[in-house]
Amino acid sequence: MIPNGGELLLLVVLALIILGPDKLPEYAAKLAQFVRSARDMAEGAKSQIKEEMGPGFEDVDWKALDPRQYDPRRIVREALATPAAGGAAAAGAAVFDIEGNFLGIAQVAESGQVTVISVAKIKKAAGL
């Protein structure tokens, strides 16, 4: 999380108050040294991975491996739309959320669109 302009100004003012103007340059230099060493460690790790992976490193789609790209709804939707081992669609499969709670049963239309029949609809149809 990178602070915006107002937050950064507040941090500088707090640092001036807490550290005082005498020690602030010393701590600013230590912070700069820490940032440089962290950047050097990250570059070292990157070069080590690049060296160990060899030419395959350039072929990796790093954006696809970014955890911020993770969308459990998309993964479930794609898994249900993908034909199962016998060539049949995943209709009738139980659908669970990321915490393992039962959401309903998958229904696949002829168009390939996957919908989930909710627990409430299942209970209503069963007369419960």
Clarify whether residues 47 and 14 are in a common domain.
yes
Residue 1 is predicted with a pLDDT of 60
Would 99 be classed as within a structural domain?
yes
Task: Answer yes or no: is 64 within a domain.
Answer: no
Give yes or no for residue 89 having a pLDDT over 50.
Answer: no
Q: Tell me which H or E stretch contains 50.
A: helix 5-53
Range of the domain at 21: 5-59
Task: Work out the widest C-alpha separation in the chain, in whole angstroms.
Answer: 77
| 47 and 89 inside one domain | no
pLDDT bin (cut points 50, 70, 90) of residue 91 is low
Angle at 81 between CA 116 and CA 108, to 5 degrees: 50
Provide the whole-model pTM.
0.40
Cα 101 to Cα 28: distance, rounded to the nearest angstrom: 50
**Residue of 102, 127, 105, 125 whose CA lies nearest to 116:** 105
Residue 18's identity, in one-letter code, is I
pLDDT at 33: 95
Handedness of CA 9, 11, 17, 21 (dihedral sign): negative
Cα distance between residue 121 and residue 128, in whole Å: 10
Q: What is the mean pLDDT of the chain?
A: 79
Q: Is the pLDDT of residue 84 over 70?
A: no
User: 10 and 44: one domain?
Assistant: yes
pLDDT tens, residue by residue, 5-60: 788 888 888 888 888 888 888 888 998 999 999 999 999 998 888 888 887 777 77
Per-residue confidence (pLDDT) for residue 82, from 0 to 100: 64
Evaluate whether residue 94 is within a structural domain: yes
Our count of domains for the chain comes to 2
Contact between residue 74 and residue 80 where contact means Cβ atoms under 8 Å apart: no
Domain-ending residue, one of 38, 59, 80: 59
What does the pLDDT read at residue 59? 78
Write down the residue that tokens 């440089």 correspond to. Answer: 36
Name which residue leads in pLDDT, 90 or 74: 74
Given this model, what pLDDT does residue 37 score?
A: 95
Q: How confident is the model at residue 86 (pLDDT cuts 50, 70, 90)?
A: very low
